Amino acid sequence: MTTAKPENRFINTSVTFPSPAKINLFLHITAQRSDGYHELETLFQFLDYGDSVTFTVTKNSVIDLVTPIKGVAYNDNLIVKAAQLLQHKSNTDFGVQITINKILPMGGGLGGGSSNAATVLIALNHLWQCQLSNDELATLGLGLGADVPVFIHGFSAFAQGIGEKLTAIQPPELWYLVSKPQCNISTISVFTAKNLPRNSPTLVKGLLINTNFMSSNFCNDCQGVVIKQYPEVANLLAWLLEYAPSRMTGTGACIFSTFSSQKEALAIQAKLPEGISSFVARGINTSPLASSVAKLTKHM
């Protein structure tokens, strides 16, 4: 005797969710743990720019990534890993076809892979009707990457630990020009570099209110390592600093420059040196993924 699968109104229906970029307004490394992981303090903010992921729930248990990412094996893809992890955790019999419109660069420090994984966990939790809480999803996601929890919770946050201890914060929602030279940077190579600072002083959370995060009190500890190894990043950063406060995000190679208006950001974008990819986006403190889930839940 077979058990009937529960009714699911999303079967064979395609639903698209955003997968936004993030920037690290600062990134301080305070220690290295005995297991090799680094303790850090950083401030995540989302951008109103990113990938989009479309899901079609199926009655079989197959996870089908319709649009493979060049250079990433199926079993190494965080999209696939996230779907498999949730499928196992929830013991669901449903499967899914996944299509991604990938516009975020790999190796850029914008959190594209982590964001994709978070979108998969959030979306399939609803589409498969798994009924896991965000805290449960964040715990699952942490095994895929330290940045995944902030994308799942969906609010700008001061992060501590390896990036999983989050405190909501509201930095100014400025306009950013995000620029990338023609190089990709390995996160592992940065965090294993001998000259990476690992002793930045810890911050007091209360001092993060009404603060200029582009001041000299804040920095990206990874930036010095990267600009020594990648002259493309060093040259672009030096050029951008002539026009606006600028800083590398994450482990690079993307650099964000801050502006008070879209018009100002677009004006500098038009002057960028040849061969530099870029986009202009606004910083936002609530992830568009959270808004999409709220709309979907409202109509369920």
- CA 129 – CA 124 distance, rounded (Å): 7
Which of 81, 147, 180, 221 is an active site residue? 147
- CA 146 – CA 138 distance, rounded (Å): 10
CA 11-115-255 angle, 5° bins: 150
Helix (H) or strand (E) holding 189: helix 187-191
28 phi-psi bin (left φ>0, alpha ψ -120 to 50, beta other): beta
Identity at 92, one-letter amino acid code: T
Q: Is 22 designated active site?
A: yes
Which of 22, 81, 180, 221 is an active site residue? 22
**Collapsing DSSP states into helix, strand and coil, what is residue 211?**
coil
Strand partners, 160: 165
- CA 60 – CA 110 distance, rounded (Å): 34
- CA 156 – CA 159 distance, rounded (Å): 9
- The answer for residues whose C-beta is within 8 angstroms of residue 27's C-beta and 6 or more apart is 40, 41, 42, 219, 220, 221, 222, 249, 250
Q: Is 102 designated active site?
A: no
Identity at 194, one-letter amino acid code: K
Indicate which residues carry an active-site annotation.
22, 147
